[in-house]
């Protein structure tokens, strides 16, 4: 899933598998380059399988997100993966790259009435849901979080995929610098938990109120009047429809012209300046370092006031691992009441890449504790129960329970990298015993069959059992019959 995803279609399998590739080669002897080029089906361009080895990281990231979100009073929401296209157009902006070039249309063949698009992000869907479900009646602010796949028809390149995963926080219903500061602090804590905080730099800017921006946009238009011919075609369009998006342009000619253009800071009103100054004070209070970045505008139209991103601190590259800001007018634009809000989203793939670069080891929860090998119909029968009981107790158990010879089952146990093997042959069945083998030490002993489970648990350690309970610190599930 990671690695350098230059999406040259022909060598995609090799490139995308990244670290997963090794693991696959080891366990499946997946084959050579030439075999791969003969594959009948491959995943579509710019998307990739989330392989078990990737899940070690993703599970770890999601756990940190959920944990920190709950601590801060956020509740989970899952907006649908597709929505009406116009929702994204109205929210993100018709003349943004995400809407203009990157929306995935969803439709049914021949159906012209439904115009849906896959979600490129969560904010629009969550705001729609807030209005539709009457969440304005709840105590404000309403704090929501989401984790899941998003889709952008981007040109695939390093860290840029067509299906990727975000975690997203939205604090809806209140405007105060302390809310923005707490949100940023929450994100900082997550990056610290994941041990990548020192690789990142918080970039922050104030883009003012919508009135400030209207005046600024007019000033930009005035400045560019007569200079249109010097702009590349796409940027001429941007100037016509949404001059602020000129700041997203990578074109050198545009960048040169922008250097002398009026800057947004000059147009920001007193109230907005005060808000921002207080926010920065709060960040100082929380000891969160930041870089003021007057050029940071973000590629979505719904923002005002606070915008921020976390960048790679070593390269200074704008390949942000996450970004967010205030969107005080969006809910009103979508038909709700005026509802000031702020939010953030982080990209799981980019975070995972940083963790791997930093050498962070995500715990592997998929290790096999015990492999159960057997021979003969009676042994097989007994092993069915043995395997099941071990699993119930939280021992990761693989029991192939096929017809293979004991020797080849032992080889299999090795390839599964099981820590212990329990071996039940015809002789052991007769004697009421079982063989317990420590795979790393290469030592084995014969023990009474009924001792197999307690012995395994002693070796693994009670604390290391993967036991599962559907009750938690909040108590038993209520019995509906009571």
Contacting positions for ligand HAM (CB under 6 A) = 121-123, 152, 154, 159-161, 164, 166, 168, 170, 300, 320-325, 327, 343-347, 349-350
Q: How far is the CB of 168 from ligand HAM (least distance, A)?
A: 5
Nearest residue to 350 (alpha-carbon basis) of 327, 372, 387, 321: 321
CB nearer to ligand HAM: give 128 or 152. Answer: 152
CB nearer to ligand HAM: give 172 or 375. Answer: 172
How far apart CA 194 and CA 56 sit, in angstroms, is 13
| The two structure tokens encoding residue 160 | 């840029």
CB nearer to ligand HAM: give 2 or 254. Answer: 2
CB nearer to ligand HAM: give 305 or 397. Answer: 305
Q: How far is the CB of 294 from ligand HAM (least distance, A)?
A: 18
Query: Residues 287, 292, 297, 302: what is their CA dihedral angle, to the nearest 10 degrees?
Result: 40
Q: How far is the CB of 388 from ligand HAM (least distance, A)?
A: 41
What is the dihedral sign for C-alpha 8, 9, 13, 19?
A: positive
Instruction: With beta carbons less than 8 A apart as the criterion, state whether 316 and 344 touch.
Output: no
CB nearer to ligand HAM: give 106 or 447. Answer: 106
Q: How far is the CB of 50 from ligand HAM (least distance, A)?
A: 13
Q: Which positions ≥6 away from 161 have C-beta within 8 Å?
A: 5, 46, 47, 48, 154, 349
CB nearer to ligand HAM: give 83 or 121. Answer: 121
Instruction: With beta carbons less than 8 A apart as the criterion, state whether 220 and 243 touch.
Output: yes
Q: How far is the CB of 143 from ligand HAM (least distance, A)?
A: 12
Phi, psi of 326 (to 5 degrees): -80, 145
How far apart CA 192 and CA 186 sit, in angstroms, is 10
| The two structure tokens encoding residue 198 | 């020192």
CB nearer to ligand HAM: give 178 or 389. Answer: 178
CA dist 269 → 264, 266, 275, 459 (Å): 10, 9, 10, 68
Q: How far is the CB of 302 from ligand HAM (least distance, A)?
A: 8
CB nearer to ligand HAM: give 93 or 324. Answer: 324
Instruction: With beta carbons less than 8 A apart as the criterion, state whether 297 and 217 touch.
Output: no
DSSP lists the bridge partners of residue 203 as 291, 309
CB nearer to ligand HAM: give 346 or 399. Answer: 346
Place of tokens 């010879």: 405
Q: How far is the CB of 95 from ligand HAM (least distance, A)?
A: 15
Q: How far is the CB of 324 from ligand HAM (least distance, A)?
A: 4
In DSSP notation, 266-314 reads: GG--HHHHHHHHHHHHHHHHTT---EE-TT---S-TT-EEEEEEEEETT
Distance in angstroms between the alpha carbons of the first and the last residue of the chain: 48
Q: Which positions ≥6 away from 381 have C-beta within 8 Å?
A: none
Q: How far is the CB of 331 from ligand HAM (least distance, A)?
A: 12
Nearest residue to 175 (alpha-carbon basis) of 268, 301, 272, 300: 272
CB nearer to ligand HAM: give 300 or 383. Answer: 300
Q: How far is the CB of 141 from ligand HAM (least distance, A)?
A: 13
């Amino acid at each position: 899933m990671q690695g350098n995803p230059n999406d040259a279609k022909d060598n995609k399998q090799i490139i995308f598998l990244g670290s997963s590739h090794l693991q696959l080669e080891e366990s499946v002897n997946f084959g050579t380059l030439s075999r791969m080029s003969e594959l009948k089906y491959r995943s579509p361009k710019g998307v990739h399988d989330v392989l078990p080895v990737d899940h070690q990281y993703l599970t770890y990231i999601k756990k940190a997100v959920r944990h920190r979100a709950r601590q801060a009073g956020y509740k989970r929401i899952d907006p649908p993966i597709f929505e009406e296209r116009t929702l994204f157009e109205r929210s993100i902006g018709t003349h943004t790259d995400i809407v203009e070039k990157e929306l995935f249309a969803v439709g049914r063949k021949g159906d012209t009435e439904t115009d849906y698009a896959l979600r490129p992000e969560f904010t629009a869907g969550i705001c729609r849901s807030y209005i539709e479900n009457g969440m304005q009646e709840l105590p404000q602010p309403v704090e929501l979080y989401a984790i899941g796949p998003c889709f952008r028809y981007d040109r695939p390149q390093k860290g840029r995929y067509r299906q990727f995963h975000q975690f997203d926080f939205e604090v809806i219903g209140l405007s105060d610098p302390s809310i923005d500061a707490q949100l940023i602090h929450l994100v900082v804590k997550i990056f610290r938990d994941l041990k990548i905080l020192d690789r990142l730099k918080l970039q922050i800017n104030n883009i003012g109120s919508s009135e400030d921006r209207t005046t600024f946009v007019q000033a930009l238009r005035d400045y560019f009047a007569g200079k249109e011919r010097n702009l590349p075609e796409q940027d001429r369009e941007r100037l016509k429809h949404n001059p602020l998006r000129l700041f997203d342009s990578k074109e050198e000619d545009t960048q040169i012209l922008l250097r002398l253009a009026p800057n947004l800071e000059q147009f920001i009103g007193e109230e907005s300046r005060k808000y921002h100054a207080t926010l920065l004070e709060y960040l100082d209070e929380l000891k969160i370092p930041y870089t003021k970045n007057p050029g940071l505008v973000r590629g979505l139209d719904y923002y005002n006031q606070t915008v921020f991103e976390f960048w790679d601190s070593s390269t200074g590259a704008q390949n942000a691992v996450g970004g967010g800001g205030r969107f005080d007018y969006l809910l009103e634009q979508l038909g709700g009441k005026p509802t000031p809000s702020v939010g953030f989203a982080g990209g799981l793939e980019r975070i995972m890449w940083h963790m791997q670069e930093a050498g962070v080891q995500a715990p592997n929860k998929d290790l096999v504790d015990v492999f159960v090998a057997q021979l003969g119909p009676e042994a097989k029968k007994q092993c069915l129960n043995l395997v099941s009981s071990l699993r119930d107790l939280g021992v990761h158990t693989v029991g192939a329970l096929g017809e293979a010879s004991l020797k080849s089952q032992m080889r299999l146990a090795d390839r599964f990298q099981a820590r212990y093997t329990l071996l039940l042959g015809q002789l052991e069945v007769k004697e009421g015993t079982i063989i317990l083998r420590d795979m790393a030490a290469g030592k084995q002993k014969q023990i009474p069959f009924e001792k197999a489970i307690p012995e395994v648990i002693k070796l693994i350690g009670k604390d290391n059992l993967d036991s599962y309970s559907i009750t938690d610190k909040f108590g038993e599930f209520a019995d509906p019959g009571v």
